[in-house]
Amino acid sequence: MGDLLNLDRALRPSERRRLRGGTQAKGYAAMPGTGPKGETCGSCDHLVRKRLAKVYRKCGLMERHWTGGKGTDVLTTAPACRNWKAIEAAPTPSTTTARGRDA
């Protein structure tokens, strides 16, 4: 028979956190893994880095559902979803000066 408080079955704090689950990244526009093989959320054009006190990575397609915290984050290492879009090349800055003359 065990003791009154069942200390032989008590969980360590790390075990309790694992069972409780914590906050999961739930801000995906579609199920991760349904997109092109070898691509991730980090290589998607829809990824937005929202800079507040911390940097929160969000899916731009889910902007209506964003919160101010981790609840609607995405993991950049997650496999791409079916809405994955290649990053478009940034336009090269022109060499024109402020007065309209070529540099």
Cα 25 to the center of its chain, rounded Å:
7
Q: Per residue in 52-76, pLDDT tens?
A: 888 899 999 999 998 877 889 999 9
Verdict on whether the full-model pTM lies above 0.75: no
Q: Per residue in 76-90, pLDDT tens?
A: 999 999 999 999 876
